[in-house]
């Protein structure tokens, strides 16, 4: 029976193998070339290969040498904060800065676990105004402000 | 003649740095740096990353002056909260908590803050002078480097960063490799082939560094901070007198000198230099003291030395980036990115081609250090008040600026998604006990390393031994190998974890 003795290392090793796997998989279509004429795949494949090896060692080590536990993941915070970013990204080019700021702040504030409507409303007004003044007017960045513009 | 040119150069720097706009940006940087140094949960890394896109519109010199100010300003600000609240605003101020907070509890917060500020100011000045003195000769040597030397130099930089990092050796190397790999995403400069873009047109020019840095150091921090419920306790005591007694001064000047020397040396080395240098200084002072048992009960030596050390290190930290074009830490990786975005090719030639940038930055650091003393001592009451702002009111602003920051780099939503992706990756890797700074280092160095390796192998007709046949390149690789071997040795390994973990 195999037991995981070092959960942190186990997860780390697994992630290394996963990431190296993605790079190796995508790079297999690229020409490798030779040392004299390094092709597009030469350097990345070498790096990913090395990463794969390290991943395996770290993974195997976690089965032998005891180590720390991973600890509770902040699932709620993770989903809400990353979700807020994705929503902001999806809205910024269509609905514009004002709408996406409001959406980001509402979803993001939920993550703190102490959601207060009045506070969030103040935030939306204050921060959106600040963002428009700084980025749109002062720095002249080409933002779409609202769905109308 | 050396001295005359140095003087000329410093005068050129002075004339650049005291222009009204550059004084303003130095001040803005220092103010912002102090602010985020005081506020736990927002570090110089995230702040610099957020401001990077804004600096596109600035003149390159002003941009670097402000970004540098944020970094060394944060080192000052961090000590304030360490002393008053036992709360290191910056990781490098952890050591200052040990004796600084005890002094504050005994009602001697004023002298502790004053010694910390004065020691930091002295160390900052010396550090700046060291850059001015040693920068030009180093750049002179580096100008003679060719592809093999450049490649080996980057290997050495990365290996040293790995060796001197906190975490597990293997995991840290893996993080560097991951960074290098992500750095290669985009068009291969040599063949023109698109690599790892997965058909996303926005990735053809590579992954934008701003999004990566904001995700790794901004977003993942927010997730982490929200999960750990905050506990803050402000010291509700009026700080009345700042003047250190004559006895304080007598006990402090030697630790400040030693701390400055230690910090200057450690600052040049890659890795967690600021933490290591303040910890090393603390250890030295404790060893040299006649009363080592009293350390931890409010010894002023334990504040003076480490504070000087981490500020000296904060200055000499710039040397490899400015003279060799090699970042030795995450903050310098961002500074390097800022230069590249401004169309400046980082490297030893910056000093000769853009002398006003190099010398202007150095003189502005000195001016900035003076500004910081003024900002920190009389205004300490305001900084303490700021600490009572709960994190739940703080993080939405960070979140919003991170979003706009990553968006405005290319005006594309893809960068926001990448920021989210790296935020997720950063958070998970923290949880798995992996360090993030090496990833960013690798990310910045990836394309440069590949290009130099390619050129090196091309001139040697595909023979990799070119890297060990050229003496400078060979010695740099030998140093890297020796450092790696040394760390694996059991005795050194134990000492390393003792130092690096204890400073956590």
Chain-centre distance for alpha carbon A89? 13
Residue A145 lies in a domain: no
Q: Give percent of chain B with pLDDT exceeding 70.
A: 91
Q: Is A102 found in the same domain as A59?
A: no
In a domain, A32, yes or no: yes
Do residue A81 and residue B191 have CB atoms under 8 angstroms apart?
Answer: no
- Phi (first) and psi of residue A38, to 5 degrees: -60, 120
Lowest mean pLDDT among A106-110, B152-156, B376-380: B376-380
Query: Which residues on chain B are in Cβ contact (under 8 Å) with A90?
Result: 413
List of chain B residues whose C-beta atoms are within 8 Å of the C-beta of residue A40: 188, 190-191, 193, 195
Structure tokens at B109: 């917060």
User: Distance from A37 to chain B by nearest Cα, in Å?
Assistant: 7
Select the residue of A70, A73, A111 nearest B226 (Cβ to Cβ).
A111
Give the mean pLDDT of chain B. 84
Question: Residue B260: pLDDT above 80?
Answer: yes
End-to-end Cα separation, chain A, in angstroms: 64
Q: Are residues A119 and A94 in the same domain?
A: yes
Note whether A87 and A53 are same-domain residues.
no
A58 and A96 share one domain: no
The verdict on residue A41 lying in a domain is: yes
Decide if A105 and B400 are in contact by the 8 Å CB cutoff: yes
Q: Do A131 and B395 touch (CB under 8 A)?
A: no
Q: What pLDDT is attached to residue B237?
A: 57
**Which residue in the set B193, B408, B457 is minimally distant from A135, CB to CB?**
B408
Q: Read off the pLDDT of each residue in B449-457 and give the average, rounded to a whole number.
A: 89
Structure tokens at B247: 């006895």
Question: Residue for token digits 């973990």?
Answer: B501
Do A80 and A134 belong to one domain?
A: yes
The answer on pLDDT for A97 being more than 50 is yes
Q: Is the pLDDT of residue B233 over 80?
A: no
Q: How many domains does chain A have?
A: 2
Give the integer Cα–Cα distance in Å for B65 and B19: 12
Nearest by Cα to B242 from B111, B65, B398, B360: B111
B462 lies within 8 A of chain A by CB: yes
**Average pLDDT of chain A to the nearest whole number:** 89
> In this structure, what token pair is assigned to residue B503?
């400073």
Confidence label for B240 from pLDDT (cuts 50, 70 and 90): low
Could you give the percent of chain A with pLDDT greater than 90? Answer: 47
Give the pLDDT confidence score for residue A39 in this predicted structure.
84
Domain extent at residue A82: 75-138
For residue range B335-347, what is the model confidence (pLDDT) as tens digits?
Answer: 888 888 888 888 8
Q: Do A74 and B227 touch (CB under 8 A)?
A: yes
Helices (H), B289-329: 301-316, 318-319
Of B234, B271, B158, residue with least CA distance to B386: B234
Among all residues of chain B, which has the CA nearest to that of A90?
Answer: B413
Of B178, B431, B464, the CB nearest to A73: B431
Closest approach of A1 to chain B, Cα-based (Å)? 24
In a shared domain, residues A50 and A87: no
* Per-position DSSP letters for chain A, written without gaps between them: ----S-HHHHHHHHHHHHHHHHHHHHHTTS--B-STTB-TTHHHHHHHHHHHHHHHHHHHHHHHS---------HHHHHHHHHHHHHHHHHHTTT-HHHHHHHHHHHHHHTTS---HHHHHHHHHHHHHHHIIIIIIIS------STT-
Closest residue to A74, CB basis, from B177, B224, B434: B224
The confidence band for B159, taking pLDDT boundaries of 50, 70 and 90, is confident
Within a domain: residue A143? no
Residue A134 inside a domain? The answer is yes
B267–chain A nearest CA distance, Å: 29
Kindly report, residue by residue over B113-156, the tens digit of the pLDDT: 888 888 989 998 999 889 888 888 888 888 888 889 889 988 88
What confidence score (pLDDT) does residue B57 get? 80
B487 pLDDT above the threshold of 50: yes
- Min Cα distance A82 → chain B (Å) is 6
Q: Which of residues 331-370 of B touch A (CB under 8 A)?
A: none
Chain B residues in contact with A6 (beta carbon < 8 A): none
- pLDDT at residue A80 in the model: 94
* Interchain pair B191, A39: CB under 8 A: yes
B422 contact A CB<8A: no
- Mean pLDDT confidence for B364-379: 86
A54 and A31 fall within a common domain: yes
Nearest residue on chain B to A108, alpha-carbon basis:
B396
Contact between A44 and B184 using a beta-carbon 8 Å cutoff: yes
Residues A27 and A60 in one domain: yes
* A58 and A89 both lie in a single domain: no
Query: Rounded to an integer, what distance in angstroms lies between the CA atom of residue A7 and that of residue A9?
Result: 5
A27 vs A135: CA distance, rounded Å = 39
Counting residues of chain B whose pLDDT is more than 90, the rounded percentage is: 14
Residue A84 lies in a domain: yes
Determine the average pLDDT of the residues in B442-450.
Answer: 88
On whether any CB of chain A is under 8 Å from the CB of B178, the answer is yes
- Give A32 or A60, the one with higher predicted confidence: A60
CB A91 within 8 A of CB A143: no
**Nearest residue to A20 via CA among A69, A64, A57:** A57
Poorest-confidence range of A3-12, B35-44, B416-425? B35-44
pLDDT digits 0-9 by tens, B63-112: 999 999 998 888 888 788 778 877 666 666 778 888 888 888 888 888 88
Task: Give the pLDDT score at B394.
Answer: 82
In a domain, A148, yes or no: no
Which residues contact residue B262 at a Cβ distance below 8 angstroms, ignoring those fewer than 6 apart? B277, B280, B281, B284, B305, B309, B312
| Residues 191-210 of chain B whose Cβ lies under 8 A from any Cβ of chain A | 191, 193, 195-196, 198
User: How large is the average pLDDT for residues B173-182?
Assistant: 95
CA-based nearest residue to A139, from B269, B58, B445: B58
Between A113-117, B364-368, B385-389, B408-412, the lowest mean confidence (pLDDT) is in: B385-389
What mean pLDDT do residues B24-48 have? 84
- Report, as an integer, the average pLDDT of B26-40: 86
Burial class of residue B43, CB neighbours in 10 A (0-12, 13-18, 19+): buried
Chain A residues inside the 8 Å CB shell of B441: none
- Domain membership flag for residue A69: no
pLDDT of the residue at B490: 67
| ipTM of the complex, rounded to two decimals | 0.93
Query: Same structural domain for residues A59 and A79?
Result: no
Instruction: For residue B404, give the nearest of A12, A31, A135 by CB distance.
Output: A135
Q: Summarize the confidence of residues B33-40 as an average pLDDT.
A: 81
Report the C-alpha gap between B263 and B311 in whole angstroms: 7
What percent of chain A has a predicted confidence (pLDDT) above 70? Answer: 99
Q: Is B169 on the interface with A (CB under 8 A)?
A: no
Q: Is the pLDDT of residue B503 over 50?
A: no
Q: Which residue of A has its CA nearest to B198?
A: A26
């Amino acid at each position: 029976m195999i037991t995981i003795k070092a959960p942190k290392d186990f997860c780390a090793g697994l992630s290394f193998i996963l990431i190296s796997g993605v790079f190796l998989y995508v790079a297999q279509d690229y020409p490798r070339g030779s040392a004299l004429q390094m092709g597009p795949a030469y350097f990345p494949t070498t790096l990913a290969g090395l990463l794969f090896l390290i991943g395996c060692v770290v993974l195997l080590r976690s089965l032998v040498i005891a180590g720390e536990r991973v600890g509770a993941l902040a699932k709620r915070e993770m989903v809400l904060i990353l979700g807020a970013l994705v929503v902001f990204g999806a809205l910024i080019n269509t609905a514009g800065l004002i709408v996406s700021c409001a959406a980001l702040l509402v979803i993001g504030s939920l993550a703190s676990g102490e959601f207060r409507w009045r506070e969030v409303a103040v935030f939306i007004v204050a921060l959106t105004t600040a963002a428009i003044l700084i980025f749109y007017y002062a720095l002249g960045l080409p933002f779409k402000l609202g769905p109308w513009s | 003649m050396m001295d005359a040119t140095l003087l000329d150069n410093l005068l050129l720097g002075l004339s650049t740095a005291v222009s009204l706009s550059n004084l303003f940006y130095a001040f803005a940087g220092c103010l912002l740096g102090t602010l985020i140094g005081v506020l736990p949960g927002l570090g110089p890394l995230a702040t610099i990353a957020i401001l990077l896109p804004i600096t596109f519109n600035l003149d390159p010199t002003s941009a670097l002056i402000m970004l540098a100010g944020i970094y060394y300003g944060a080192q000052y600000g961090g000590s304030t909260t360490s002393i008053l609240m036992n709360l290191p605003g910056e990781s490098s101020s952890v050591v200052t908590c040990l004796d600084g907070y005890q002094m504050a509890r005994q009602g001697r917060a004023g002298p502790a803050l004053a010694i910390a500020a004065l020691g930091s100011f002295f160390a900052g000045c010396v550090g700046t002078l060291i850059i001015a003195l040693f920068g030009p000769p180093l750049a002179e040597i580096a100008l003679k480097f060719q592809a093999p030397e450049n490649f080996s130099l980057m290997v050495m930089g990365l290996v040293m960063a790995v060796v001197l990092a906190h975490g597990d050796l293997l995991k840290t190397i893996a993080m560097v490799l991951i960074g290098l790999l992500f750095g290669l995403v985009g068009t291969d400069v040599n063949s023109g082939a698109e690599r790892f873009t997965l058909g996303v047109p926005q990735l053809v020019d590579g992954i934008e560094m701003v999004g990566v840095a904001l995700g790794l150091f901004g977003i993942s921090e927010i997730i982490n901070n929200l999960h750990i419920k905050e506990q803050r306790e402000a010291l509700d005591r009026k700080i009345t007198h700042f003047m250190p007694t004559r006895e304080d001064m007598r006990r402090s000047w030697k630790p400040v000198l030693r701390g400055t020397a230690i910090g200057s040396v450690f600052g040049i080395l890659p890795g967690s230099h600021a933490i290591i240098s303040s910890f090393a200084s603390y250890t030295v002072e404790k060893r040299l003291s006649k009363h080592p048992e009293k350390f931890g009960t409010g010894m002023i030596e334990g504040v003076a030395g480490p504070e000087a050390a981490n500020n000296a290190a904060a200055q000499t930290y710039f040397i490899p980036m400015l003279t060799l074009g090699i970042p030795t830490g995450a903050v310098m990786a961002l500074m390097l990115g800022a230069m590249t975005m401004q169309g400046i090719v980082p490297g030893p030639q910056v000093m000769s081609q853009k002398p006003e940038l190099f010398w202007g930055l150095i003189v502005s650091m000195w001016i900035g250090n003076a500004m910081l003393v003024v900002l920190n001592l009389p205004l300490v009451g305001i900084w303490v008040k700021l600490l009572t702002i709960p994190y739940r009111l703080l993080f939405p602003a960070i979140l919003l600026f991170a979003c706009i920051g990553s968006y405005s780099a290319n005006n594309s939503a893809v960068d926001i998604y990448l920021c989210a992706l790296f935020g997720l990756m950063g958070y998970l890797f923290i949880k798995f006990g992996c360090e993030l700074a090496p990833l960013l280092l690798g990310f910045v160095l990836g394309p440069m390393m590949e290009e130099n390796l390619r050129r090196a192998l091309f001139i040697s007709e595909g023979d990799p031994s070119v890297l060990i046949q050229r003496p400078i390149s060979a010695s740099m690789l030998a140093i890297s190998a020796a450092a790696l071997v040394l760390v694996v040795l059991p005795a050194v390994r134990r000492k390393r974890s003792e130092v690096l973990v204890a400073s956590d």
